[in-house]
Amino acid sequence: MTFGPEPTETVRWAAMGNRWEILTFLHWRYDPSDVQRLLPSGLTVETFDGSAWVGLVPFHMTVHLPHLPPIPYLLRFPETNVRTYVIGPDGRRAVWFFSLEAARLAAVVTGRLGYGMPYFWSSMRLEQDGRRVTYSSTRRWPRPSGATSRVVIERGEPYRPDGLGDLDHFLTARFRLYGVPRTRLWTAEAWHIRWPLERATVVEMDDELVSASGLPAPVGPPLVHHSPGVAVRIGFPHRVQRHAPLTPNR
């Protein structure tokens, strides 16, 4: 199977615009059964080469809200998510988030109420020193609080377009998400151009966020990609059709 690097459709009516910058993808192979047991009914873990994949993705977020002026403190902040890749009951490929850390409480409340996403308010920092990037996070609210993450990476050379394979696109070319607000499965589109990807290496890692999601601790070094960033259009959430009520897994 070939995984395309860009979506075929854009988001015509955007709920918000984002800028995802200084972003690092760190991915590990997992037994599909370890991931599937944490998914809500209706979602099936998507595998590549027989494995499920779990990602730890720290980055810097800028939010642009329609008809509102930019508010730097409120709408610019670090974020880190723990994610996997799924196929929904409608047959669409998408991202499922086990957790999302954000440094702004307003973003946490909006993400939980509006999109049914498991956001957590955290104390976070993102620092750059030349080609070295340091991401740090300590969870504040809600429980379980106290989970920490510290990742230091060294940026490498950009990938040539012909240097990226199906696995690279499988892990990064994702343009839809699922959430579970009020016990119903909802979905939303997230459109952006192809990721400009760079090679990267892990200098230091001490992470508790993956394990805090209920997954076994990652084994071995991660597969790493870095990107300077993309602009993103986030669509309004809408209910997945022909799906029975479910209990969210949090």
Domain holding 42, by residue range, is 14-69+80-239
88 in any annotated domain: yes
pLDDT at 242: 54
- 8 within domain boundaries: no
Bridging pattern class, strands 76-87 and 52-64? antiparallel
**pLDDT > 50? residue 132:** yes
Distance of alpha carbon 132 from alpha carbon 9, whole angstroms: 35
Mean pLDDT, residues 204-221 taken together: 97
DSSP symbols for 88-125: -TTS-EEEEEEEEEES-HHHHHHHHHHH---EEEEEEE
Tokens of residue 84, six digits? 């996997």
Tally of structural domains, the chain: 1
Identify the DSSP state of 162: G
In a domain, 110, yes or no: yes
Confidence (pLDDT) at 243 = 43
Whether residue 113 is contained in a domain is answered as yes
Strand partners, 73: none
Residue 62 lies in a domain: yes
Q: What is the pLDDT of residue 14?
A: 83
Q: How confident is the model over 58-99, as pLDDT tens digits?
A: 999 999 877 666 676 678 999 999 999 999 998 999 999 999
pLDDT band at 37 (very low <50, low <70, confident <90, very high): very high
Query: The domain spanning residue 190 has which CATH number?
Result: 2.40.400.10
Question: Residue 143 carries which side chain, given as an amino acid letter?
Answer: R
Q: What pLDDT, on the 0 to 100 scale, is given for residue 161?
A: 86
Asked if the structure places residue 74 within a domain, the reply is no
Q: Which amino acid is at 175?
A: F
Q: Tokens for 151?
A: 């990742």
Is the residue at 250 inside a domain? no
Q: Is residue 198 part of a domain?
A: yes
Tens digit of pLDDT for each residue in 150-162? 999 999 999 998 9
For residue range 107-119, what is the model confidence (pLDDT) as tens digits? 999 899 989 999 9
CA 61 to chain centre: 12
Give CA 9 to chain center in angstroms.
20
